[in-house]
Each structure stands twice: as structure tokens, then as C-alpha cells.
Structure 1
Amino acid sequence: MSATPLVLLVDDKPDNLDVLVNYLSDYGLELMVATDGEQGLELALEHTPDLVLLDVMMPGMDGYQVCRRLRQMQQTSDCPIIFMSALNDTDSKVKGFEAGAVDFISKPFQRQEVFARIQAHLTIHRQRQELRLKNLQLEQLNLELQEQMDKRQRAENELQLADERLSTLTRQEAEHWGIDAFIGRSPVITRLLEEVRSLQQAPDTNVLVLGESGTGKELISRAIHYGSRRKEKPFVAVNCSAIPAELADAEFFGHVRGAFTGASGDRSGYFVQADGGTLFLDEIGDMPLALQTKLLRVLEDGLVTPIGGRKGRLVNVRVVAATNANLRNKIRDQTFRQDLFFRLAGYQIQLPPLRERLTDIPLLVEHFLTLLGQQMGRERVTLSREAMLALRQYHYPGNVRELKNLIEYALIASRGQAIGVRHLHFLEPPSGVMQSDHPAAVAPAEESPPPAISTENQEQMLMEYARTQGKVNNNRAQALLKVDHGRASYLLKKLHKEGKLIKQGQRRWAFYMPS
């Protein structure tokens, strides 16, 4: 409704129209007049009045017909219609209300009555319009609120699902990396597992894990984490030797947007990522001195300040560091800070090399045969007595990792048959072990050490390994084929160019997947 209400007057007698115009002209109303029903309908359709004063008795189309037509028109379906008539009988009034009128004014007109009724119905009409508008707004608001509630519910459902998945992954990780993953019954392993159990009950103690390459330093570190109350929080593994010196600060402590060229956004560092959990620093002995100083400061006060930032953030992180280097020699050579050593070595664990627990080899061999055999679809593969003897007499410079690689290679090379000595590709063959799987017999020609593997066979071994394990990298290819870095790189790139393998990652982090 406009600020000046529009009233349509319909009467076939001009005198009546003059009287009404005279009555209403001083009340701030905009008036239109029509002298018959057809003209009244045309004006109503064209101008949409806010109220209609309608005479009942008119030639041609009477007031009842006009009223019904107005109610059928979308523009005037809710417009208040007041009948004017000299007829005061009840039947006439009922008929008018049935046609859609809201009120009835008797002739002759009383000025105050006419205006009062008009004013009342205009007010009611305006309030209805305002109420209708508010209802529409409320409906829209309800729709928006419902949409927000639906979004929130979906977000909560997704969050709950993510929590459930995280909980499941955490349980799986705990099972995978728990102390049950350690294979062995030797006294040295028994003592080691007792130490791990004790460290699981001391979740705020930093740990320094020492041992040769391949002895399972990361496995021990993950077991310490996933057996402690920190298991619900992240385990962040960092290879200190693989981080370029110029990026080390940003990687460990993060940066804010614009801190340096290329910093297009904020980034959290390793300490923030591991907040509440464990930060595993592998090859800690290779960390640059400048970074050691900053690491020591964070370990002392728990405050991490990103590059370019002015405000630090407190973090609660357990640090488990590992190295195969002699840190005491590095301290003496002043390439490793002594105060950092003591911060990291809240407790030290020394992992034994495999040659010091040879009694565990049969258990480890059985474990790897089962694990890798299932992955390759080659279960129940047996190992000859001579092959086991060779494995027990080997000195294992690569420790448990090398033993796993030996079994992995043998499973592929044996093509599902019993594994013999000829299938074991040692870096240095054990002394005093016959290459035949039948010590009482003379080794036939085919049992002699095999010639160099052809390129075609090497490619087949790489592709089969990638198919069964999901991926292969240069280090794995070297161990599998017993070749150097260059040869492994050539074969992998060749298979990639031929479309047989798909490359992922770059440089030292590159690996290849089946196409």
C-alpha cells in the first residue's frame, strides 16, 4: 500500500459519486470514479486500488458480479470491498458478504461513518499486507536458518565421521606400530621392549634412539608414541638430512604470509603440526648448527615463532630423535651442541644390530615370509634348510631392513617355489655356505651362481614389485636388483618413458607406481 491510499468509487449515479468525492477529498485519499461495473473492473485492473466502494444496484453488471470478478483478479483478490446500497435487508447484506465484500454502508451516506469504515478497512488491509510481508520474511529467514542448520548438521556428521575414521586409523596405527610389531625373543630384545613400555608411561620425556641404519629406529619411535597417551595426536616424522638449510627455519617453525619471496600464505611448521603429539627427528646428527640453536630454544620454553611473525605460540611436543652417528664424537668436534644433546637425551635407547641377536633370525624370516607373501599372493612359500643356514651366518650390514629386502627379493626370484640359497642375493655371500640346497650332492650347472640378470628380467622384477607393493623407488630398486644408483635410475626412467610405470614426486622423493 502506498503512502496515499487509492480508493475506487463505483456507482452508476453521478450525484452519489459527487457526494462521496466531496466527503473524502479532505482526508488525504487518492480517488478514482467509475459509473458502471465494466469501467470499474478496467480501472481496478490498471491501477490496483487499495479499497473499493461499490454500489450494489447498477445496470448491466451489478455490484455482486463486479465483486466476484474483483476477487478473481490477482491484483484485487485481497482488496477490501465495501458495498453501498439503500437496501438494508439481511438477505442483501448476506449476499454481499458471500460475494466477497468486507463491509456494508447504507444510503443515504453519513460522512463520518463513510470515512470511519474506509479508514478502518484501510488500516486492516495495510496491517494484513505488513503481516504478509513479515511472514514472507520469516519464511525466508526460516529457510536460511534451516539451510544453516542443515549445513551445520552435515558438518557435524562429517566431523563425527572424520573423528571415527581418525580413531580407527589411530587404533590401526597403534596396532601396526605397537611393541607387538617387534619380532624376537632374544634377551637383548626383551630388555629393549621393557624400556619401550617404560617410555610409553612417561609421555613427556624426550628420547634419543641410537643404532645402526636398518635397526628399526623409527619403528621404536612410533611404538613409544602409539603406546602412550599422546597416540590420539599427530606423529610427525622429519628427516633432518633431507631439508635444505635455507628452508629449515620455515619447515620447523612455519612462516606468515609475505615473510619472504614465495610466502603466499601462512604455513604452520613441524612443531605446530605435532602439537600435543610427537615430533620424530630422524638423522638428528645431520642438523646444521644454526638450526640446532633454534631447536634448543623451542625445547627450553615451548614457544614457536613463525618467520615474519611477532607473536609466538606455545606447543606441547614430545621429541624423539634418532641417529646412527656418534653424537659424542660430534660434540667433541663441535658439530653438535652438547646442551641440545642433553635436552634430547632425556632417555637413551641403544638398538642392537641384527648380528648381535642372530637367534631372532628364524622368527624374523617367518614373519617376512608371511607378511610379504600375503602382499604378493604367494603364501606358504618355504625356505630350504641351507638357505636358513646362510641367513643365520650372514653379518647383515643393513640389519633388519636388509633381511627384509633379502626375503622380498627371494620371494620374487623364486616365482612361488621353495626359496633356496641361489635366491638369496647377499651383498657379500656368507663364508662356508654351499650354494647348493643339497649339501651332499654336487651342485649341477643350474645351481651355480647365476649370471648377471638381463635388463628384461630386471624390468620384470621392478614391475612385479611395483604391482605387489604399490610403488617402488630408487633405493628399493637398488636393493632388489643389487645394482648401483645409476643403473636403478636408468631402469625406472626407461619403464616410465615406455608408459609401464607412473612417476610421482621429484628427485630423492620420487617413486614409481604401476600404470
Structure 2
Amino acid sequence: MKPIWIVDDDASIRWVLEKALARDNLATRSFANAREAMAAFELETPQVLVSDIRMPGESGIDLLAAVKARHPGLPVIIITAFSDLDSAVASFQGGAFDYLAKPFDIDKAVSLIRRALEESLREASVEAAPAETPEILGHAPAMQEVFRAIGRLSQSNVTVLITGESGTGKELVARALHKHSPRAQQPFIALNTAAIPKDLLESELFGHERGAFTGAQAMRRGRFEQAENGTLFLDEIGDMPFDLQTRLLRVLSDAHFYRVGGHQPVKANVRVIAATHQNLEQRVRDGLFREDLYHRLNVIRLRLPSLRERSDDIPLLVRHFLVQSAHQLGVEPKRMSEPAMRYLAGLALPGNVRQLENLCNWITVMAPGQTVEVKDLPRDLTQGHPAPAALPDAALPGAAGTPSAVVAPEAAAVAAHDWIGLLEQQAAAMLGAGQMDVMDTLAREFESALIKTALKHTHGRKNDAAVRLGIGRNTITRKIVELGIDGAREE
């Protein structure tokens, strides 16, 4: 984490803030004037900037303007005189995160800086694009058509609608479209509109002003602003609430929007790529999706084939995922025997590529030998039932490889991959024994297993694990402490 910069011509204020932040193990760097801070920005940037408003030479407002022009996502806290209302207003108009009125309470000042720090880390987590676009594999003719379409669209900024079943790789294709577009050096921001509660989605998309609603203690940029000059990927667009569809249509047609609670238009130079597994035409006929928005999004349609349509690619994908999974766990990759590979290639996998990847994770953890035979595959598959598109079963409470401290003897007899049956028997055993707080006990084990597995997959990176699990950074931090989980780090 980068240090917090303090800019103030008053040495005593610099000293007090440095000592207070040091007690919280937060690194600082101090400057006596705005000019020194501006020069330092040529070489590095802080995590948060705290600046006095009135200093010899350039003022804090001048510094704020210069910083926001180059680093719009950096939280800046302005220190003002208690009675200087005009300065406070100017600070917010310039994009300040908040302001401190002199004389200030040091504990409140540290609390405010911590809030700004959390916002800065959240922004960094959202905006950090992968160093390399994940590889899209496929030799089947249906996938070659997709690759050709990406090539034809490589120099275009046109809106694209990606359709296909869940698990076919729609986000990978969106990232590839961005990587090969003129916007490749700008942010790629992804948002699953079905994963955000309706009452939060508007703020998530468009941001909000300070005081727009209860809990809005500071102005926050939404995904459109974070994706400025880049690409915004809206997954599961078919699930977007009807009233928000109107706001999205306005942005696509007018190229500007308003933050929640805001009155000033914000320009939007963003390429939108949308995706859905649903039949949007049918949703239009059912009155659940705006027809005018549908036509705005459906400029170029790219349909991804299901795995059933590209079964020739299954051996290629299996080998890739087995190597990838082994690398994540630090073990030797498993090999599929010819009969086992033929068996997998003949399966109908409703979860598509995502399900196949999860299956390879299961094989890496659970298969007994280095060469995997048909008998080593999950019983669901060998008995002709579709395998669930879920996390590897070893990551679940009570499954083989992660034994629970309270697993009942009869539960141990259940097949390791039948985790729901195992959970039911575990709950029955605990209830039958008269144990109290069964829900809390099992929920804690379940959450602990999920978080530990996510941390293992992200090599301990807490922010990445939170994104993969679909929970907030503050939530995963709290859970790690509550559950006593080790091995997590910030970056």
C-alpha cells in the first residue's frame, strides 16, 4: 500500500497527523507546500492526499485541481478553517473526498483518512485490469467464427451484444474485444447487473453525490466514470431493472449521465459491451426489456457456442485447465487416460466451459493417481447424471480433503462429491444429538471453506478473492478476522 501524503505549511499539523497515522501503522510522507507535492507526483502517487487549503504559493484548491486532472480516482481531503464555508464548497466542487475543519479532533481526522483509504483501495481493486487477457481456446469451427468476429471488430468502437448460455465465456470475449480495440490502454470495467441489489445498482453504475442517501458520506464515482475512455462490460443485461434500463438508454443516446443526487451532467466516453444468456427478444415481447434499449445494444451481435457445439475442443480445454489448476495448487498436473478423455468428450455439460473448469479442479484435488481413469471421475458423471456447475467439492465443509470437526459417522459414508447429501446428514446428526446453534456452526464452516478456497485460488490476494466470491472487500476482511483465517494479504 502506498503512503498517505500530508501537505501543510504548519509543521505542527504535519507532526500531529504523522504520529497519529503511525500509531495505526499507516505510512506517511509530508510536504511543506503544494509545489513540492506537485513535483513528487512526477515520480509517484499516494494512496490518499491530505492538504491544507491556504498555504504560501499554490493553494490546496490549486493542488486539488492539478491532482484531479491527472488522477481523478485519488481521494483528496482538504483542511480548511472552521468558518471558511466558501473554501469547503470550493473543495467539493473540485472533487474533494471530504474536508477537515480546523481545529479538528485527531481521532475523527484519522477515521476520515481511513474512510478515504478504503475508497482508494476499492477503486484500485476495481480498476486494476488483468496484466494479460485470459486465453480463449478453441479449434472447433464455431469458435473460429468467434475469433474471426473479434478480429473484424478489432479497430471498432461499436456496441456489441454477446449472447450464449451461462459458462460459455462471455466475459473472456468481452476482454478480448477490449484488448484488441483502440481503447486497449484504457480501463476495462466489468459489472454483473444481476449480482447487485436493485436499490444499489443505480449508484454502482452512475455513482452518487455526498448526502444523496443515508450512508453516502462522500461522493463516489460509478462504473461509467471508472471506465471513462475505456470499455464497460455489463453482464446479464437482461436482468437489469426496467427503470434503470431507461437511464442506460439515456447514456447510450446522449453520452452523459447524472450521479445519484447530482444536478450536473457527467460526460461518458465509454464503449459498452453487454451480455446475456436470456432471449432478449422474448423479454421485449413480455414487456420486461425496453425495445429501444434492445436496438441500441444489438448493433453487433456475437453468439457464443455451447460446449455441446464444440465438443472437439474438450480435450484441449481439459489439458489446459488441469495444468492451470495444478499450477494454482503447486502440484503436478494430472493426465487423463484415453478412455477417460473420450468419456468426457461425450458428456453433455450444461454448465459449459465453466463446469468443465470446475470438474478439472475437482480432478486435481480428488483423483487418486496421476493418470485419471473413468472410475476416478465424480460418481454423478459416471452414473449418467449431469455434474453440478459448482466449486470443487473438496472446498466444501465436510468433504474429503477438508474434514469437519463435527462430521457424524454416518455422514462419512456419503460420497465426497455429494456435498448436499453430506450437509443434510451432518445437520441431522447434530440436531439428533441435541446440539444448539446448528445453523451458525455449519454456516461458519461453509463460509470458512469458501474463503480459504478463494484465497488459495488467488494466492492469498484478499481483494481478488472478494471479487471472485462476489462479496465486498470490507465483508471478506471482517469474515477473515471472525473466522480466524490465515494467509490473506491486501495485494
Q: TM-score, normalised by structure 2?
A: 0.59
Q: CA deviation at 1:264?
A: 1.4
Q: Counterparts of 1:320-469 in structure 2 under 5 Å?
A: 320-415=273-368, 417-425=370-378, 427-429=380-382, 458=399, 460-461=401-402
Q: Which structure 2 residues correspond to residues 133-212 of structure 1 after superposition, within 5 A?
A: 150-159=36-45, 173=130, 175-177=132-134, 181-202=135-156, 204-212=157-165
Q: Deviations over 1:348-398 (max 9, x none)?
A: 010000011111111111111211122222224221122112101100100
- Report what 1:296 is aligned to: 249
Q: For the structure 1 residues 363 and 497, does the alpha-carbon distance in structure 2 shift closer, same or farther, using more than 3 Å as the test?
A: closer
Q: Is the 8 A contact 2:367 2:377 kept in 1?
A: no
Residue in structure 2 matched with residue 493 of structure 1 by the alignment: 444
For 1:458 and 1:321, locate their aligned partners in 2 and report how far apart those are by CA, in whole Å.
37
Say which structure is richer in helix: 1
Which SS does the other structure have where 1:200 is aligned? coil
1:245 matched to 2:202? The reply is no
Q: Closer, same or farther in 2 for the Cα pair 1:369/1:343, shift >3 Å?
A: same
After TM superposition, give the deviation of residue 207 of structure 1 in Å: 0.6
Give the conservation status (yes or no) of the 8 Å contact 1:304–1:313: yes
* Residue in structure 1 matched with residue 84 of structure 2 by the alignment: none
Structure 1 residue 261, shift from structure 2 partner: 2.2
Distance 1:172 1:305, change over 3 A: closer
Distance apart, 1:150 and its partner CA: 4.8
- Hey, what's the Cα distance between the residues in 2 that align with 1:183 and 1:453? 27
Contact 1:259 1:307 in 2 (8 A): yes
Q: Cα deviation per residue 1:11-52 (whole Å; 9 max; x = unaligned)?
A: xxxxxxxxxxxxxxxxxxxxxxxxxxxxxxxxxxxxxxxxxx
Q: Percent identity?
A: 38
Question: Contact 2:366–2:394 at 8 Å: present in 1 too?
Answer: no
Letter of the 2:197 counterpart:
P
Deviation of residue 453 (structure 1)?
Answer: 9.3
CA distance in 1 between counterparts of 2:470 and 2:127 reads 29
Amino acid at match of 1:158: E
Structure 2 SS opposite 1:236: strand
**Compared CA separation, residues 160 and 269, structure 1 to 2 (3 A):** closer
1:283/1:498 Cα in 2 relative to 1: closer, same or farther (>3 Å)? closer
Instruction: Tell me the alpha carbon deviations over residues 392-447 of structure 1, each in whole angstroms, 9 at most, x when there is no partner.
Output: 11001000111111111011112552212233226554759xxxxxxxxxxxxxxx
State the Cα distance separating 1:170 from its structure 2 match: 10
Alignment root-mean-square deviation, CA? 4.0
* TM-score relative to the length of structure 1: 0.56
The code of the aligned residue for 2:153 comes to L
Q: Greater shift after overlay, 359-368 or 502-511? A: 502-511
Q: Which runs of 5+ in 1 are unaligned?
A: 1-143, 164-168, 433-451, 464-479
**Is the radius of gyration larger for structure 1 or structure 2?**
1
Change in CA separation of 1:454 and 1:231 when aligned onto 2, cut-off 3 Å: closer
Answer whether contact 2:398 2:422 (CA < 8 A) is retained. Answer: no
SS in 2 for 1:201: coil
Deviation (angstroms), 1:296: 0.4
Q: Match for residue 419 of structure 2?
A: 483
Compared CA separation, residues 370 and 462, structure 1 to 2 (3 A): farther
Q: State how far apart, in whole Å, the 2-side matches of 1:193 and 1:485 are.
A: 42
2:234 aligned counterpart, secondary structure: strand
Q: Which structure 2 residues correspond to residues 206-285 of structure 1 after superposition, within 5 A?
A: 206-285=159-238
Deviation at 1:481, TM superposition (A): 3.8
Q: Secondary structure at the match of 2:232?
A: strand
3-state DSSP of counterpart to 2:302: strand
- Structure 2, unmatched stretches of 5+, are 1-29, 48-69, 72-125, 386-392, 405-415, 425-438, 456-461, 487-491
Please tell me whether the aligned partners of residues 396 and 419 of structure 2 are also in contact (alpha carbons under 8 angstroms).
no
In 2, Cα distance between equivalents of 1:227 and 1:328: 29
Which deviations, in whole Å up to 9, do the C-alpha atoms of 1:263-288 show, x marking residues without a partner? 21111121111111111111111111
Give the letter for the 2:213 counterpart: F
| Equivalenced residues, count | 329
Task: Determine the C-alpha separation between the residues in 2 that align with 1:482 and 1:175.
Answer: 36
Letter in 2 for 1:395: A
Going from structure 1 to structure 2, the CA distance change for 1:360 and 1:462 (only over 3 Å counts) comes to: farther
